[in-house]
Amino acid sequence: MGKKLANKVAIITGSGSGMGAEMATLFAAEGASIVGADINIERANEVAEKIKTNGGQAIAIKTDVSCLADIKKVFKTAKDKFGQVDIVVNNAGIMDDFSPVGEMTNETWERAFAVNVDSVMYATREAVKEFLPKKKGVILNTASVGGTNGGRAGAAYTAAKHAVVGLTKNTAFMYEKNGIRTNAIAPGGISTNIGESIKNASEFGMERQKAGMGLMPGMGSSSSIAKTALFLVSDDADFVNGVIVPVDGGWTTY
């Protein structure tokens, strides 16, 4: 059986750790050349070196995903190095401080949207430019159960991830006749290092969210996300478009 992503080039943001690192490693094992974009270049380089050690192809680029110039550089680098772009995974993201809107600071709100939403729009726009001429391409966004439900994060993260869900569905619909597929994964509780982005958690917000935490069926692994992502970006999912796939162990069934 051939590799699922043979001869494909995949851009993955947030490739240096957690879900992004797992996706990069798995996609490379399935034949893709990886362009890893991460603000933590040391981690991204470690992942790229691991891929190359295992016989794959990968490069890492230091990227602030909230900066349009950086996103454009990632696409240029991908084309300069590998000649094309076939898959774009908008995975980089940050948490908020669990604040409800009454405690929200402008800084927290604006940063959550810059990293979690603006970045997705920028990269999606660049991807569409690449994919339209060849009428083929795949975009995969990392949303969240915070983007489908209301009580699993603070107001900023919840609103931002709802925006990612909306952008995913709109892009899927707009370009469905142009050979471009756009989907999203909505992770539940996954063991990653995203908690590093939480600085000053709201006590009120945390207390309110505890109401549903007891229903969470444990913590999932980044590997579970990566395997779902592989399906969605591969030709196995050639008729899957505009869906938000929860990978949460059933947490959102209640």
Mean pLDDT of the chain: 93
Residue 2 in domain: no
Tell me what pLDDT residue 50 has.
98
Q: Which of 51-55, 56-60, 66-70, 191-195 has the lowest mean pLDDT?
A: 191-195
CATH number, domain with residue 138: 3.40.50.720
Local confidence band at 152 (pLDDT 50, 70, 90 cut-offs): confident
Tell me what pLDDT residue 196 has.
61
Q: Which of 161-165, 169-173, 222-226 has the lowest mean pLDDT?
A: 222-226
Cβ contact 55:33 at 8 Å = no
Q: How far does the chain reach from its first CA to its final CA, in angstroms?
A: 39
Residue 1 in domain: no
Cβ contact 132:178 at 8 Å = yes
Tell me what pLDDT residue 151 has.
85
Tell me what pLDDT residue 197 has.
55
Type and span of the H or E element at 138: strand 137-142
Type and span of the H or E element at 182: strand 180-187
Tell me what pLDDT residue 253 has.
83
The total domain count for the chain is 1
Residue 254 in domain: no
Local confidence band at 16 (pLDDT 50, 70, 90 cut-offs): very high
Tell me what pLDDT residue 206 has.
76
Residue 156 in domain: yes
b/e map 38-54, b = 16+ CB within 10 Å: bbbbebbbbbbeebeee
Type and span of the H or E element at 34: strand 33-38
Residue 3 in domain: no
Q: Which domain holds residue 42?
A: 9-247
CB atoms closer than 10 angstroms to residue 69: 9
Residues annotated as catalytic are 157
According to DSSP, the β-strands at 33-38 and 57-62 are parallel
For the chain, percent of residues with pLDDT exceeding 70: 95
For the chain, percent of residues with pLDDT exceeding 90: 78
pLDDT in tens, 182-193: 999 999 876 665
Tell me what pLDDT residue 85 has.
98
pTM: 0.94
pLDDT in tens, 105-145: 999 999 999 999 999 999 999 999 999 999 999 999 999 99
